Amino acid sequence: MPVVLREARDTLVPDMRGPHGPLPPLLLVLTLLTGLVDAFSYLLLGHVFVANMTGNVVFMGFALAGAPTFSTPASAVALGSFAAGALAGGITVHLAGSHRGRQLQRALLVETVFVTAAMVVTLVSGGPYTGGVRFTLIVLLGLGLGVQNAAVRALAVPDLTTTVLTRTLTGAVADSRLALGTGSRAGRRVLSAAAMLAGAFFGALAALHVHPALPLLIAVALLAAVGTAVTLLARSDAPWTRPATAE
């Protein structure tokens, strides 16, 4: 079997006795969720991301230069909300101790509260999402995705950040045999990019052609599924539950 396919298989169906156990496929689901939520925020909340903060910094620069359809306040609120969510996520993770299963379980519980609240606001308010509703949604989603990113950072599973793909894609090429590297883990990295792409595609399709709230409905369903799985897995004391070591 080609190395790339073997790496992809091992990511989707991991060795439960390995250093990361069931975490890789769970983080792929959260990467898919990121694409869904950012599709909703960018397309329906006025060119702003709630998960990918690099984009918001660039958008803020566009807005300050006078580019139309970009908003400095919206980008600033997204950045601030994400930072507050990351703070909450960091506290949640540290209070959960060193057990990675419990860290993810508790962080997902907090994230689910914020994303569910955003879904309710979306359903109750109806579109278009402007004014106070728009900023409420940015805040709630920014908080939720900030919590997620803090937890994922603590888990430290290589190449599965659920948000940032620039370094992932760079590594897939720069570490490859073609670049005289030692191996690129391309299988896992390609899956990460594909999950983000799929989330963005289905999020845009749902928001534009089915119902504006559908991406958030799907996101809440994914969080519930991953949260349930992690709750069951958090009872384990297998090697993957212990703090990650450098790879």
Q: What is the CATH number of the domain that holds 101?
A: 1.20.1250
How many domains does one find in the chain?
A: 1
**219, 36 Cβ separation under 8 angstroms:** yes
Least confident of 11-20, 138-147, 162-171: 162-171
Residue 90 inside a domain? The answer is: yes
Do the domain assignments include residue 71?
A: no
The answer to whether position 63 is within a domain reads: no
Query: Which candidate, 132, 161, 126, places its Cα nearest to that of 54?
Result: 161
In this structure, are residues 177 and 162 in contact, taking their beta carbons and an 8 Å threshold? no
pLDDT for 105: 97
Which of the pair, 163 or 167, is modelled with greater confidence?
163
Within a domain: 137: yes
User: Quick check: helix, strand or coil at residue 164?
Assistant: coil
Backbone φ/ψ region at 131: left (φ over 0), alpha (ψ -120 to 50), beta:
left
CA distance 234 to 219: 22
For range 86-91, the mean pLDDT = 97
| Any domain includes 128 | yes
Percentage, residues of the chain above pLDDT 90? 77
Q: Is the pLDDT of residue 152 over 90?
A: yes
pLDDT of residue 86: 97
Question: In sequence order, what are the residues at sequence separation of 6 or more whose Cβ sits closer than 8 angstroms to the Cβ of residue 67?
Answer: none
44 in Cβ contact with 203 (< 8 Å)? no
Angle between helices 214-233 and 186-209 (to 10 degrees): 140
Nearest to 222 by CA among 33, 12, 36: 33
Domain around 225: 3-15+22-45+80-241
Biggest CA–CA distance in the chain, Å, is 55
pLDDT band at 70 (very low <50, low <70, confident <90, very high): very high
User: Percent of the chain having pLDDT more than 70?
Assistant: 92
Residue 54 falls within a domain, yes or no? no
The single-letter code of the amino acid at 178 is: L
Report pLDDT for 224. Answer: 97
Residue 149 lies in a domain: yes
Q: Which two tokens stand for residue 187?
A: 């299988």
Is residue 233 in a domain? yes
Name residue, tokens 């769970």.
Answer: 26
